[in-house]
Structure 1
């Protein structure tokens, strides 16, 4: 099922690398910058969805105090709580699933990239390719530095997307969501450690892109 997607990604990698061949002499740097450019391209294409996710998340966080009031008011009537909560979401033009679509795309792409980099390592394309001081081999597994960076950048990205409103931050649902996000960070750190360094570079670059994106959007919204 993912094979056509894998072949598409590999073709795009080779196109980008062919372009970089004209400007970068070292093969390892060619592949490293190819992965970075590919990641930036993917995230640019997903920007509209990511922006929608951030807006939806902020709207959802903003009405959580109201949701809590409804839960307390109708605590003996779960059906009424559900009915009034759905009405609250509708009145505030908030989708209960608005933030899910980017995740439904991001994670399958991550899985596809796992397979893509494994194939590139198996055919020798990225094997023994050094990229910078932190990546002695893009095709090797067990890069602890990239794994730590994967966890830290994902946690930072999650933290920046949170509401700064204390009432919202203390909300039980928000805490549960944040805890799940932090647990996912550890899981992805494990994936990057047990996979090729190329996958770690892809994920860390994507996280850094999303951090910059969130900082810019937060700044724009304050203006």
Structure 2
């Protein structure tokens, strides 16, 4: 089954590469980089509906935060009841915690399949691109692993900022750093072209996360603050005449 997936993806990648070469791109390294870029773009477009669904789920979580805080306060000494009530709140509002994780997990099986796809490509050793002397060998200057770690961390950081904190106390910042560090270490052994796929995918994911998650969350947070300020002003305006009337009665 897995080999069938690898063969299928190899067929797609070879077709893209042959198309790019047929368009007149004679440089071997550049033709493979363009092929991996187009391939990455296709994958990310296919994943986009999952990203949109996850963004809606995240905004749903943001809206139920006031009720979430009440539940946390009410059942802070009963973790079992707390989890049960939180799950009920998610279900009643059609919100899923897993919804935000799916888009970030989907590229991993593709990465594994591509690893074997590139393992089977033979006879093109020495294909270079920019500072990379051999696209089908690890980066000798170790720049790609650093870029892989950074590009893994940034979209997950934006997602964390756009996602309300959870009652289970999970430290998402630590998890994001661990994931980024793991991808950086793994990239030291991967072929450069595979790491390029990962970096390109993460850059596209960063743009999607910014516009689908981070930006709307910041906008909603600012609107909530402005609404609270207006509400406080209204309360103060109502209280002032009452306080003045009370002072006059005391003087009498």
TM-score (norm. length: structure 1): 0.84
> Alignment partner for residue 214 of structure 1, among 209, 227, 233?
209
Partner SS state of residue 111, structure 2? helix
> Is 1:141 the equivalent of 2:142?
no
Secondary structure at the counterpart of residue 138 of structure 1: coil
Separation of aligned partners in 2, 1:118 and 1:111: 11
| Secondary structure of the structure 2 residue equivalent to 1:7 | helix
Measure, in 2, the Cα distance between the counterparts of 1:102 and 1:71.
28
Cα gap change, 1:213/1:76 in structure 2, threshold over 3 Å: closer, same or farther? Answer: closer
User: Who is 1:20 aligned against?
Assistant: 20
Specify the alignment match of 1:124 in structure 2.
123
Does 2:43 match 1:42? yes
Structure 1 residue corresponding to 2:174, chosen from 165, 176, 179: 179
Task: Tell me what 2:153 maps to.
Answer: 155
Determine if contact 2:75/2:82 at 8 Å carries over to the other structure: yes
3-state SS of paired residue (2:106) = helix
Between 1:18-27 and 1:99-108, the stretch displaced more is 99-108
- Measure the CA separation in 2 of the matches of 1:59 and 1:174: 19
Q: Distance in 1 between matches of 2:110 and 2:64?
A: 31
* Alignment correspondent of 1:195: 190
Question: How far apart are residue 180 of structure 1 and its match?
Answer: 1.2
Cα deviations by residue, 1:40-64 (Å, 9 ceiling, x for unpaired) = 1111111101222233234335545
The offset of 1:160, in angstroms, is 1.9
Against the structure 1 CA distance between its residues 97 and 61, is the aligned structure 2 distance closer, same or farther, given a 3 Å change threshold? same
Q: Is the 8 A contact 2:157 2:176 kept in 1?
A: no
Cα distance in 1 for residues equivalent to 2:17 and 2:160: 37
**Runs (5+) with no aligned partner, structure 1:** none
What's the offset of the Cα at 1:173? Answer: 4.8
Is there any run of 5+ residues in structure 2 with no aligned partner, and where? 221-252
Correspondence 1:52-63 to 2 at 5 A: 52-60=53-61, 63=64
For these two proteins, the number of residue pairs brought into alignment is 216
User: Could you say which structure has the larger radius of gyration?
Assistant: 2
| Conserved 8 A contact 1:142-1:197 | yes
Q: Which moved more, 1:41-50 or 1:52-61?
A: 52-61
Q: Secondary structure at the match of 1:93?
A: coil
Q: Is the 8 A contact 1:160 1:215 kept in 2?
A: yes
Name 2:233's counterpart in structure 1: none
Paired residue for 1:110?
111
Q: CA deviation at 1:206?
A: 0.2
SS at match of 1:194: coil
Deviation at 1:164, TM superposition (A): 5.4
Pairwise CA distance, 1:77: 3.1
Q: CA RMSD in A?
A: 2.6
Question: Mean alpha-carbon deviation: is it higher for 86-95 or for 195-204?
Answer: 86-95
The aligned counterpart of 2:5 is 5
Q: In structure 1, how many angstroms separate the alpha carbons of the residues matched to 2:47 and 2:162? A: 25
